[in-house]
Amino acid sequence: MPLATDEYLNLDRKSIWHPFTRHSTALHESFPVIVKGEGPWLYDNDGNRYVDAISSWWCCNLGHGHPRIVEAIRGQAEKLQHSILANLSHPAAIKLATNLIGHFPDPGRRVLFASDGSSAVEAAMRVAVQYWHNLGQTEKNRFAALREGYHGDTLGAMSLGFMPNFHASYQDIVMPVYHADRPFCAGCAWGERPETCERQCLNSLRQILREHHSELAGLVVEPHCQGAAGMRIYSPECLWEMAELCRQFEVLLIVDEIAVGMGRTGRMFSFEHAGVDPDIVCLGKGLTGGCLPVSATVVKQGLFDTFTDEPVDHTLYHGHTFAGNPLGAAAALACLEVYAEDNIVEQARRRGELLNQEFQIFRELEEVENLRGLGMIAAFDLKAGKDGRSGVELAREVRLEVMKKEVLLRPLGNVLYLMLPLVVSEEVMQETVQALFNAVKSVIAAGD
Ligand code: PMP
């Protein structure tokens, strides 16, 4: 039987450890208790509805409760809920892997399934290290990554995205990773403009690859947009050059499409903007339309071919219990079918252009800087207010203010962004931008 919201919250405060949530917030803020999702909306236990402006941590690209996905899960649940992929197979995983591979520039690929994004990244790291080992290059077992990248919360993935502020207590147990400067075109640290840019931002990466390629298994990057770092968008030229450096120095290029894949940037995969063909691609989040945890590490056939077991055993001894789970695979397959039938990626590209235009109104506000967008991602940074409130404080206040206007946001530090479902209507999108604009204005005005 459903409970009253207060009753839920009382139980919640005694039982749940909320991820990425400060104690002070968990104890003093009253969270909405979400009971239903439909299209771009989430409904709470008191009947309030909110626009899910972050697509539930960037994964519900088709909105909530898409009937095709719900039906696929229901149909699969009636036949087979779980069966493993070790020495067995099942139709949903076979069809999903075949469909997925068809989206790559060169369909010579293999799909290694996992559950969440972090485990797809871990698998990519395992595959990369063992690939070089299979070839007898056992010293190639380290990684390079971009500073402030985010690749997940397991230890390997966290090593790639190590952030001293968040991860200090793990300093001694993370694996050493070469971290390179990160490109960020809207707020270029080198003061470059696109017309004059010579990609100085990649100097440190060039140097790392030149000096350490003999010990590097791979370079791991979020293609075109470092999401958790604050939607730090960078140009296709940068990614193209990273791919070129990897080719030149024989380092595998591993792209983490977990947040930006599945049409988010206006292409099926974000790496397509740069016309590159990465060695390993990690997918997660939106793969099932955000309905079930399924992730995939999609690996070039040439890498897979080195994992033979004769005369020496190079088998990949790696796999998660729910890898390729039939329910999740059926959901992902239905999701891909909807993408094809409804032309979701093209729709996202066009809607993204409109979002970008709408976002230009933020140029009016002095406190806003580094306005940027890529497909259905739009973001800006908040500077400190005239009254001394920091950009981070202002952003926190905006989150609470805009919630009153039925919009759910989660700022990243001083960065405010929208990542609406790709299928959101123009009307809801415009209303959301307007609600955010009004909230920012009123929070700033409160300090005047
Ligand atoms: N990589 C990227 C780029 C991500 O944004 C995330 C999650 N935000 C992950 C990996 C980790 O995915 P998960 O939370 O599903 O483990």
| Dist. CA 115 → ligand 1 center (Å) | 11
Structure token digits, residue 403: 């919630």
Question: CA-based diameter of the chain, in Å?
Answer: 75
| Dist. CA 160 → ligand 1 center (Å) | 12
Residue nearest to atom 7 of ligand 1 (CA): 152
User: Which ligand 1 atom is the nearest neighbour of the CA of 152?
Assistant: 11
The CA distance from 177 to 408, in Å, is 35
Alpha helices in 102-235 (DSSP H): 117-134, 155-160, 164-167, 203-212
Please give the DSSP secondary-structure letter assigned to residue 285: G
Nearest to 77 by CA among 321, 331, 337, 336: 331
| Dist. CA 198 → ligand 1 center (Å) | 30
239 Cβ below 6 A of ligand 1: no
**Three-state SS for 379?**
strand
pLDDT at 382 over 80: yes
Grade residue 7 by pLDDT with cuts at 50, 70 and 90.
Answer: very high
- Whether the CB-CB separation of 179 and 151 falls below 8 Å is answered with no
The CA distance from 211 to 100, in Å, is 36
The CA distance from 44 to 434, in Å, is 22
In this prediction, residues 216-240 reach a mean pLDDT of 97
269 Cβ below 6 A of ligand 1: no
Each residue's pLDDT tens digit, 230-286 = 999 999 999 999 999 999 999 999 999 999 999 999 999 999 999 999 999 999 999
Give the count of beta carbons closer than 10 Å to the beta carbon of residue 353: 14
152 Cβ below 6 A of ligand 1: yes
The CA distance from 353 to 351, in Å, is 5
| Dist. CA 363 → ligand 1 center (Å) | 30
In this prediction, residues 3-24 reach a mean pLDDT of 94
Intervals of CATH 3.40.640.10 along the chain: 69-341
The CA distance from 59 to 289, in Å, is 6
pLDDT at 162 over 90: no
The CA distance from 226 to 295, in Å, is 19
In this prediction, residues 296-308 reach a mean pLDDT of 98
How far is the first Cα of the chain from the last one, in angstroms, to the nearest whole number?
48
Grade residue 409 by pLDDT with cuts at 50, 70 and 90.
Answer: very high
The CA distance from 347 to 424, in Å, is 10
**Best of 125, 258, 264, 295 for a ligand 1 pocket test (most atoms within 8 Å of beta carbon):** 258
The CA distance from 96 to 324, in Å, is 9
| Dist. CA 118 → ligand 1 center (Å) | 6
In this prediction, residues 419-448 reach a mean pLDDT of 96
298 Cβ below 6 A of ligand 1: no
Grade residue 12 by pLDDT with cuts at 50, 70 and 90.
Answer: very high
Structure token digits, residue 13: 């405060």
| Dist. CA 117 → ligand 1 center (Å) | 5
| Dist. CA 445 → ligand 1 center (Å) | 35
The pLDDT assigned to 136 comes to: 98
- Counting every residue, how long is the chain? 448
pLDDT at 187 over 80: yes
380 Cβ below 6 A of ligand 1: no
Nearest to 308 by CA among 63, 118, 135, 74: 135
User: Which ligand 1 atom is the nearest neighbour of the CA of 58?
Assistant: 8
222 Cβ below 6 A of ligand 1: yes
The CA distance from 127 to 143, in Å, is 12
Fold of 343-448: Aspartate Aminotransferase, domain 1 (3.90.1150)
260 Cβ below 6 A of ligand 1: no
Q: What is the pTM of this model?
A: 0.97
The pLDDT assigned to 164 comes to: 82
User: Which ligand 1 atom is the nearest neighbour of the CA of 57?
Assistant: 8
Each residue's pLDDT tens digit, 68-120 = 999 999 999 999 999 999 999 999 999 999 999 999 999 899 999 999 999 99
The pLDDT assigned to 26 comes to: 77
pLDDT at 196 over 90: no
Residue nearest to atom 11 of ligand 1 (CA): 152
Residue nearest to atom 10 of ligand 1 (CA): 151
284 Cβ below 6 A of ligand 1: yes
Share of the chain above pLDDT 70, in %: 100
Report the run of H or E that residue 370 belongs to, with start and end: strand 368-374
pLDDT at 166 over 90: no
Residues 6+ apart with CB under 8 A from 199: 183, 237, 238, 241
**Three-state SS for 368?**
strand
The pLDDT assigned to 27 comes to: 78
pLDDT at 417 over 90: yes
The pLDDT assigned to 195 comes to: 80
The pLDDT assigned to 193 comes to: 86
User: Which ligand 1 atom is the nearest neighbour of the CA of 119?
Assistant: 16
Intervals of CATH 3.90.1150.10 along the chain: 343-448
In single-letter form, the type of residue at position 122 comes to E
In order, the DSSP letters of 336-362 are HHHHHHTTHHHHHHHHHHHHHHHHGGG
The CA distance from 373 to 357, in Å, is 10
User: Which ligand 1 atom is the nearest neighbour of the CA of 222?
Assistant: 3
Q: How far is CA 396 from CA 50, 62, 382, in A?
A: 17, 27, 11
- On average, the pLDDT of the chain sits at 96
432 Cβ below 6 A of ligand 1: no
Residues 6+ apart with CB under 8 A from 137: none
The CA distance from 299 to 370, in Å, is 35
pLDDT at 30 over 90: no
The pLDDT assigned to 404 comes to: 94
| Dist. CA 54 → ligand 1 center (Å) | 14
| Dist. CA 120 → ligand 1 center (Å) | 9
Grade residue 24 by pLDDT with cuts at 50, 70 and 90.
Answer: confident
In this prediction, residues 324-328 reach a mean pLDDT of 97
The CA distance from 380 to 342, in Å, is 30
256 Cβ below 6 A of ligand 1: yes
In this prediction, residues 428-440 reach a mean pLDDT of 98
Grade residue 142 by pLDDT with cuts at 50, 70 and 90.
Answer: very high
> CATH assignment of 69-341?
3.40.640.10
In this prediction, residues 326-348 reach a mean pLDDT of 98
143 CB-contact burial (10 Å; exposed 0-12 / middle 13-18 / buried 19+): buried
